[in-house]
Amino acid sequence: MKKYIYTLSVVTLVFFFMSCTDKIETLVEENLVEVATGDNGEIAVEVQATTDLFVGFNSLKIEVTNLTDNTSINDATVTIMPMMHMMTMSHSCPVDNKTATLSEKGTYNFDVVFVMPSGDMGYWEVTFKVEVGGQIQEVIVPVTVVQPEETKLISFVSEFDQTTKYFVALIDPKSPQVGENDLEVSVYKKASMMDWPSVEGLSFELEPWMTSMDHGSPNNIAPVAIGNGHYKGKVNFTMTGDWEMRLTIKENSNVIGTPVFTTVFQ
């Protein structure tokens, strides 16, 4: 009996370390870091991203584990709900996909646009509902959201109707360089404290401008719709330094806002 227990323990340890090695290799391959974890005693949720969570567009990868046998849950439907809790109220934020199934990489993927940082004003929690075989379990995960050095999210009230509040998230370029760069933004509006839908049917004008040298650049492509409130184009930086990406956004030919994103790179 002792020999059997010893053998079983060795096998268990081997599988444990193999599992840990696979996870580390996946994190390295995807250039991911663990940013938050939580559990309800039965299942655990781990939140991964390429950086600390920030005000702007965040791509999250979620791993779900059964704590009973420490195995991954790969056959679930996962629903996400981010919430900012403040002293007198709570609100959500834009989410591109509130429900996900397992991806080819073995994670449940979500795109979340956090609209304000954690801190004195309030704190963020993300509720995950995990459905397997008709049974739903809920895990609430506290997350920390920071304000990045370069603004990745700009909000404004429509210049046209003076009522609708829009949010424009800068997705690309993440690491700008001299020459042609992908430019991608996503646009949302605040319909209510809990409803932040993406906005389709917009048109854009783009003017890159180097403030220190007082000049622009040629060969830019203004963002056009690619679906789900995302718009993609090209921005051309002719030299290193400080640049503004000046956008004019129109809805039905009416200018609704003129957000400006800045970047400095060497």
| pLDDT per position as a tens digit, 212-251 | 999 999 999 999 999 999 999 999 999 999 999 999 999 9
According to DSSP, the residues that pair with 83 across neighbouring strands are 125
Beta strands in the chain (DSSP E): 33-39, 43-49, 56-66, 71-72, 77-86, 90-91, 99-100, 108-114, 122-132, 135-143, 153-157, 165-172, 179-189, 202-209, 221-227, 230-237, 241-251, 254-257, 260-265
3-state secondary structure of 262: strand
Per-residue pLDDT at 134 exceeds 80: yes
| pLDDT per position as a tens digit, 11-48 | 343 444 444 445 544 454 578 999 999 999 999 999 99
- How far is 206 from 241, CA to CA, in rounded Å? 19
Each domain of the chain, given as residue ranges in start order, spans 31-143, 153-265
- pLDDT confidence of residue 192: 98
- Among 183, 250, 194, smallest CA distance to 219 is for 183
Element (H, E) at 112: strand 108-114
- Among 120, 121, 138, 116, smallest CA distance to 129 is for 138
Domain 153-265 classification at class level: mainly beta
Topology of domain 31-143 in CATH is Immunoglobulin-like (2.60.40)
| pLDDT per position as a tens digit, 63-119 | 999 999 999 999 999 999 999 999 999 999 999 999 999 999 999 999 999 999 999
pLDDT, the chain, mean: 92
According to DSSP, the residues that pair with 243 across neighbouring strands are 263
| pLDDT per position as a tens digit, 174-215 | 999 999 999 999 999 999 999 999 999 999 999 999 999 999
- Residue 2: band (very low, low, confident or very high) from pLDDT cuts 50, 70, 90: very low
Element (H, E) at 7: helix 2-30
Looking at residues 2-9, what average pLDDT do you find? 39
Q: Look at 22-36, 121-135, 157-171 and tell me which has the smallest mean pLDDT.
A: 22-36
**Do the domains spanning 31-143 and 153-265 agree at the CATH topology level?**
yes
